[in-house]
Structure 1
Amino acid sequence: MEDEDILDTLDSLDAPDTPDGPQPRPQSLMLTFFGNHVLEAGNLCVYSGSIIDALGRVGVGEQAVRSTLTRMVNRGLLQRQREGRRMYFGLTPQATRVLEDGRTRIWKQGAVNDDWDGTWTLLGFSLPDSWKRQRHDLRSRLTWSGFGALYSGLWIAPGNVDVSTTVSELGLTAHVKIFHAQADVATDIELMIRDTWDLESIAARYVTFDKRWTAHLGTASGDDPIATRLRLVSEWLWTIRTDPRLPARHLPPAWPARTAQDTFRRVAEQTAAPAGQMARDLLETARLR
């Protein structure tokens, strides 16, 4: 899988915003499906009809599912396996890596950074004007890793962030310099954060998520648990995608990430067992060879 395919995979996790909230794209929902029901199971593949059924529960049509499966196979994200007359799909190592990164962001790191140790990672780069694609790739990957543009060629992220592998994968090691440092007392960190990141946009995503899913908590009894969990995880990843986990003590009072995360975890806990049981009952699977 080419580096740009990994980048496009991360980009595809974004979703167009509508008055009703984010509308995840089919590939985002497909990745969420495999992350929910295949990643932790190991060498497992799923019958295409089961995937069509699962994504149909969130409004993705059969043709869109089939074309997304084909596109993801062609890009090295999924692998096909024939069992008799049926086609099954499983994760490739590259897709597993992408999903494990997402799982860390969603379930392990959390949205609130209460443990910041005062360090920053600084990355400076200088690329030829003709390298537009390389510049786009680097900036997109840096954004995913929590960086913001302090200046045009100098990016910064809270904490000790290891981006050496990312830089190497993009073939830009010779053009990038990485430092780990602390801010001088003369630096107004809160002003720097406001100048570097769009806090209003980040906060708005959390507020929207919290409003939608808090309302959902009181009306969830008749929901389809697979569909609910697909929407929940896809929307949460969309919500946190542009949040670099800035140090909580330097953010505005009542930063909405905390309440949104609490809501996410409540709904996740509420849907985990029912979704898992429904998946075991409905999904036709086979061992991936």
Structure 2
Amino acid sequence: MTSEPHTSPGHPANARIAAEQVNFPRPLKGSASQHLVVTMLADYWRGSAAWLPSRLIVALAGSLGLSSSAASTALSRLAGRDVLEQSNAGRTSRYRFTPEAKARLDIGVGQIGGFGSQERRWDGMWTVVAFTVPESSREMRDLLRSRLKWLGFAPLYGAVWVSAWDTADELEDSCRHLGVENYVIFRTPEAELRGRPLIEAWDLEDLRRQYTPFIDSYGRKARTLDPQQLSGAEAFKLRTEVIDAWRAFPWEDPGLPPELLPREFPLFEARRIFVTLYNSLADAAAVYVEETAVRLAPDLAGEIRAFRVKA
């Protein structure tokens, strides 16, 4: 049982596009059973090829407040989404992440773990994309908009989207894969822009407000919590809840460069809270998961990896 940092390895275009096709449940405001199970499994078995018996997953999900039926239904639906693959050993159902899901998790975990970090420096350049998708291809247009949002773009005008980061290669890969042909992507320096400021593509006050519940819920705990005073089950539950709440933010916030944000933007306080709780609870939570695995699935002893994020 060890702790490892989250990493963000590079992925060739074909592998990245294949990974994008895995139908992960979208993070929601508040916990839902499918993405709570994904969060839990990714936290401790993302890098493992071991088969996890359903009794172990259901038991751990129970520690998070999910009923046996809710956890079992979540597993079945995640298998239907190609997030998990299923195998039977006698009367026991077993699950593990599909290879494509693991590739997607490698990408997503790097983005989620690094979200809000001020280490990434802005080069003063904007990425702009303009596109046309026929009304008859509405599904293609919706998929493109969803992909743009995940890459950190926002609509300045209906079909003109902007991002402060250099994601041109990833976006071009996605356009080709989706079959979008009528588009142009270019980079432009901030100093040469005229007219409407591109930062106005985002409602910064709306972005600011989304962090209030997180800070209110977990800020005091981050300041005062002594992990030694918690049981393993309590540490496991709180750690899972914290990252499950945190992982929703990159869907709504593009992670704009600090240079473009108001002073004391709450994203940075929220990140400090997240990193403090997530990392400080890692050891106690991993011990609890290991003990549960030893009791219900002894073959998995030593397979547990409690991941950490870089402060």
Structure 2 counterpart of 1:282: 292
Counterpart Cα distance in 2 of 1:286 and 1:108:
33
Structure 1 counterpart of 2:283: 273
Report sequence identity in percent. 24
Gaps of at least 5 residues in structure 2 are 1-16, 304-311
| TM-score, length basis structure 2 | 0.80
| Equivalences for residues 121-200 of structure 1 within 5 A | 121-161=127-167, 162-172=170-180, 174-187=181-194, 191-193=197-199, 195-200=200-205
Counterpart Cα distance in 1 of 2:22 and 2:83:
12
Q: Per-residue deviation at 1:183? A: 2.9
| Equivalences for residues 232-271 of structure 1 within 5 A | 232-271=242-281
Structure 2 counterpart of 1:54: 60
Gaps of at least 5 residues in structure 1 are 16-21
| Equivalences for residues 98-137 of structure 1 within 5 A | 98-112=104-118, 115-137=121-143
Q: Per-residue deviation at 1:100? A: 1.4
- The 4+ residue runs of structure 1 with deviation greater than 6 A are 2-5
Among 20, 23, 28, the alignment partner of 2:30 is 23
Deviations, residues 144-169 of structure 1 (Å, cap 9, x unaligned): 11110111111111121132222233
- For residue 140 of structure 2, give the secondary structure of its aligned residue in structure 1: helix
Equivalenced residues, count = 275
Counterpart Cα distance in 1 of 2:187 and 2:166:
7
Counterpart Cα distance in 2 of 1:188 and 1:252:
21
Task: For 1:14, give the aligned amino acid.
Answer: P
Q: Check whether the contact 1:144–1:241 (CA below 8 A) recurs between aligned residues.
A: yes
Counterpart Cα distance in 2 of 1:196 and 1:60:
39
Deviations, residues 257-282 of structure 1 (Å, cap 9, x unaligned): 11111111100111111111111111
- For residue 43 of structure 2, give the secondary structure of its aligned residue in structure 1: helix
Q: Check whether the contact 1:112–1:245 (CA below 8 A) recurs between aligned residues.
A: no
| TM-score, length basis structure 1 | 0.86
Q: Per-residue deviation at 1:286? A: 5.7
* Distance of aligned partners of 1:130 and 1:48 in 2 relative to their CA distance in 1, 3 Å threshold: same
Q: Per-residue deviation at 1:175? A: 2.7
Q: Per-residue deviation at 1:45? A: 2.3
Among 22, 32, 38, the alignment partner of 2:45 is 38
RMSD: 2.5
Task: For 1:88, give the aligned amino acid.
Answer: R
Deviations, residues 55-114 of structure 1 (Å, cap 9, x unaligned): 222222222211221111122111012223211100012211221122111223544465
